[in-house]
Structure 1
């Protein structure tokens, strides 16, 4: 069950991570739409494959939700920290 959770986390967080990296012009060579399409395909295949017990699908879904939520929070925290560092540098320069 742990593997389904980790797989769901990784597959669901990838498009959001690539989209956020596009926002900061860090990763321009990879299309976030392509990553989202591949992630959707992988998630659908895993959903169809994880039919041995209902718990597998539950943990896959929980991992996906946690992946999106945590990735969003990580990038928000990084944005806040970079904003504070930038403000401190501007204040120091004045």
Structure 2
């Protein structure tokens, strides 16, 4: 596996180790789902995009409240996800 996968898997694990996240089954499920997908070799940028979408949906349904570790994870991924979304939009236009 490549370094960026390892970095993201470690970030996900640190977020999962947060006591506030451990107490929240919904967040734990979301994060574990994407951590497992990365460990199974799913495409990195696609996972970043899907994970940021899942966190956004969580925030929308929980009055924009989430543990700081989840928000930090989201912020670290948003740039990668935005680039991927932009690239896929360009290919659709062409």
Q: TM-score when scaled to structure 2? A: 0.34
* Structure with max Cα Rg: 1
Q: TM-score when scaled to structure 1? A: 0.34
Q: Which structure ranks higher in relative contact order (CA pairs < 8 Å, sequence separation ≥ 6)?
A: 1
